[in-house]
């Protein structure tokens, strides 16, 4: 709690502080310039882990040259919290713009790299990281695909593709052909691995607009978990095996 107060005070006054004396029961902090009057004295409150501030001199008497210098205590996290409101309408401030914002608000000039990293942190806070969005990408079907399926051939191909790089997992997909013999996507689903539960979830979502009927033909490879999912959710549909997968397996 006391460290948070020191950081807030440091941001507000835009200066470096140094710990003169610190232990579990007592803390004394002052500005690095001995001519500056700013200081904090605090004592611990029992064993609670909290401190009681019994003296705080807010006045900062350092010179302009010291205030506008490049101080290491202006962290990327502090800069990121300062520029959050500037990430709007997909228009992100450049590192140079971030530098000008920090100078206007805190009267200090952080380096280019620190401004760039602070922009990345702020962008991830406002719009989430790709990894965060990937975690919630379980199932997706476009409205156009759902409405257009009524005019499409009743032959659906399902398959799973292993994803590489940092995301990993498996991408399940269901596609068919339109009247011009073009690939027509129906739905996508991201899972951790192929098993009965994952394919069952996939087919359960697919049933929302691909009706379980005898006129329907579903083509896949010979993976047993696909057959188990179809036996549970598409009992009336005909299940065919892809000849390409069959020849590659043989």
Tens digit of pLDDT at every position of the chain (250 positions): 445 444 444 434 444 544 455 566 777 877 766 777 778 888 888 777 777 888 888 777 665 555 545 455 688 888 888 888 888 777 889 999 999 998 888 888 888 999 999 998 888 888 776 666 655 568 888 898 899 998 888 999 999 988 877 667 889 999 999 888 889 999 998 888 889 988 999 999 999 999 999 999 999 998 899 999 999 999 999 999 988 877 776 6
Lookup: tokens for 178? 């339109």
Q: In what order do the strands lie in the sheet with 170-177?
A: 139-140, 183-191, 170-177, 155-162, 217-220, 238-241
The runs of H, that is alpha helices, within the chain are 2-13, 64-67, 76-82, 95-106, 112-127, 130-135, 143-148, 196-206, 224-233, 243-249
Task: Report the C-alpha gap between 78 and 84 in whole angstroms.
Answer: 10
Class of domain 135-249: alpha beta
Residue 181: closest CA among 149, 144, 145, 153: 153
CA distance 161 to 66: 58
């Amino acid at each position: 709690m006391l460290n948070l107060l020191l950081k807030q005070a440091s941001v507000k006054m835009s200066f470096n502080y140094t710990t003169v004396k610190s232990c579990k029961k007592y803390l004394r902090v002052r500005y690095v310039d001995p001519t500056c009057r700013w200081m904090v004295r605090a004592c611990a409150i029992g064993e609670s882990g909290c401190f009681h501030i019994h003296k705080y001199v807010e006045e900062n008497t350092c010179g302009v040259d010291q205030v506008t210098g490049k101080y290491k205590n202006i962290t990327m996290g502090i800069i990121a919290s300062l520029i959050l409101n500037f990430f709007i309408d997909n228009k992100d401030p450049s590192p140079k713009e971030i530098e000008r914002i920090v100078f206007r608000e805190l009267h200090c000039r952080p380096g280019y790299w620190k401004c760039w990293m602070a922009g990345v942190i702020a962008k991830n806070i406002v719009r989430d990281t790709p990894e965060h969005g990937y975690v919630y990408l379980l199932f997706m079907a476009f409205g156009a695909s759902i409405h257009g399926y009524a005019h499409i051939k009743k032959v659906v191909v399902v398959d799973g593709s292993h994803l590489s790089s940092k995301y990993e997992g498996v991408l399940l997909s269901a596609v068919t052909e339109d009247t011009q013999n073009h690939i027509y996507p129906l739905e996508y689903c991201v899972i951790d691995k192929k098993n009965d539960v994952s394919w069952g979830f996939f087919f359960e979502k697919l049933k929302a607009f691909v009706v379980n009927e005898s006129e329907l033909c579903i083509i896949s490879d010979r993976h047993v978990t696909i057959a188990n999912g179809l036996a549970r959710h598409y009992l009336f549909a005909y299940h065919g095996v892809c000849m390409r997968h069959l020849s590659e397996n043989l």
